[in-house]
Amino acid sequence: MAIKTAEAYVESLRKLNMEVYLFGKRVENPVDDPIIRPSLNSVMMTYELANDPQYADLMTTVSNLTGEKINRFTHLHQSEEDLIKKVKMQRLLGQKTAACFQRCVGMDAFNAVYSSTFETDQKYGTKYHENFIEFLKYVQREDLVVDGAMTDPKGDRGLSPSQQQDPDLYLRIVERREDGIVVRGAKTHQTGIVNSHEVLVMPTSAMKEEDMDYAVAFSVPTDTKGIKIIYGRQSCDTRKLEAGTLDRGNPKFGGHEALVVFDDVFVPNDRIFMCGEYDFSGMLVERFAGYHRQSYGGCKVGVGDVLIGAASLASEYNGAAKASHIKDKIIEMTHLNETLYACGIACSSQGHETAAGNYEIDMLLANVCKQNVTRFPYEIARLAEDIAGGLFVTLPSEEDLNSPEVGEYVEKYFKAKADVPTINRMKVLRLIENLTLGTAAVGYRTESMHGAGSPQAQRIMISRQSNLGMKKQLVKELLDIEE
């Protein structure tokens, strides 16, 4: 089975026995939990579209490992065209869900680990690349969702991993055995972990020799003994427990983040992709970050398309669509959104082949893309809130709308244009609230800032990639300066 159906995907999750905690209690059935389910629906869309002939070119491709048709989320990029299609696929899914669809981190991890293990093996004669290829063949064959796990809690940011008072604040190897290793620690901000079959762990930063035990990469099933998942709170998340769907804003879809604890988890030898090769940890981190910063030029743009559409509809429903300042604000939102997309396409079109044979984006342009993503969605959200008006944070609940006592007043006084039902206006305003203030804001606004590294991380990479020496030489040649 190279491409699962959405239904088969859900059933495959039911077979897992993940240890998930929410509101202080273990969740016995994460698949059907009303808080978690909208995020699962978002992942399901990656399967639904892959089985839709209309989207086959974007959503599916042929594996370079097996020659079989696979979901693009499990693919190793083979060309600039593959990199471009990745961004287009992500925009499409952002448009279809208006939420985080959670498979991008795993896809970006695949491509980073593939090339990094190849080069590690060349130096050390290890078998990490072979291990990874066999793992990825399994992922492709079963069309699995893999959670990419990079970020550690980090503790005192002024200290290295080995200097921390608590050594577990970075995930580390605590035991080396003949048949594998035992790891302890945690990974934070884990997008979609509860909807994943596997967790692919990577180091969080470039390590030094004294931090060798922290230079580790591997993958294990998400229900492996010792893995504990603590589900993150989101603004307005308990609205999903209420009757009706209006107050959710986005009635079907969502995303999630979590803290994932590794309490002495055993990793067998054939699932280890790095084990102490600290000199390759920085390469792996930078490559993963580059791929993931490219991703934001697709997924956030798709969600931005929905927010722009909602703001435009709100202006129509308010009777203000013809106002010149409204038109100008929507133009500005579109300009900002398409600029993000242009960056995603640009870093993809300038991609290059790695030593391992898969394709990598232009690293400078990928970091420029993500640097813009730390800014533009905030302005797009601000303009959407401006256009929506203050009512979108004053709306009563769906129960008030349906109330025999006050429902007629809600219907009467929250109506704007005569030909637009009040309920339609309320739906659009609730969606804007969800995307800018509610649960989806985690996957749009906040994730735009901190996902794939906070702004300073991109600025460091932009500095490294800026090639100032070449630019200064251009000036010297123009001015006939000889030194």
Catalytic site positions = 100, 104, 191, 257, 292, 296, 299, 447
CB neighbourhood size of 459 (10 A): 14
In the numeric block, the tokens 């934070």 are attached to 188
Strands (E), 287-375: 352-353, 359-360
Show the CA angle centred on residue 32, arms to residues 30 and 34, nearest 5°: 95
Can you tell me the distance from the alpha carbon of 161 to that of 153, in angstroms, rounded to the nearest whole number? 10
Please tell me the distance from the alpha carbon of residue 16 to that of residue 179, in angstroms, as a whole number. 24
Helix or strand run (H / E) with residue 94:
helix 80-97
Q: Which residue has the tokens 């007043």?
A: 409
How far apart (Å, rounded) are the C-alpha atoms in residues 130 and 355? 15
CB 463 within 8 Å of CB 364: no
Q: What angle is formed at CA 331 by the lines to CA 328 and CA 334, rounded to 5 degrees?
A: 155
What is the DSSP secondary structure assignment for residue 193, as one 8-state letter?
A: G
β-bridge partners, 98: none
Q: Are 380 and 100 in contact (CB under 8 A)?
A: no
Sequence-distant (≥ 6) Cβ neighbours of residue 136 within 8 angstroms: 65, 74, 76, 110, 114
Angle between helices 281-318 and 363-373 (to 10 degrees): 40
319: left (phi over 0), alpha (psi -120 to 50) or beta: left
Separation between Cα atoms, residue 133 and residue 160, nearest integer Å: 32
Torsion of CA 266, 268, 271, 277, to 10 degrees: 80
Any idea what the Cα angle at residue 438 is, between residues 436 and 441, rounded to 5°?
Answer: 50
Best CA proximity match to 237, nearest among 28, 428, 385, 437: 437
Q: Residues 200, 149: contact at Cβ < 8 Å?
A: yes
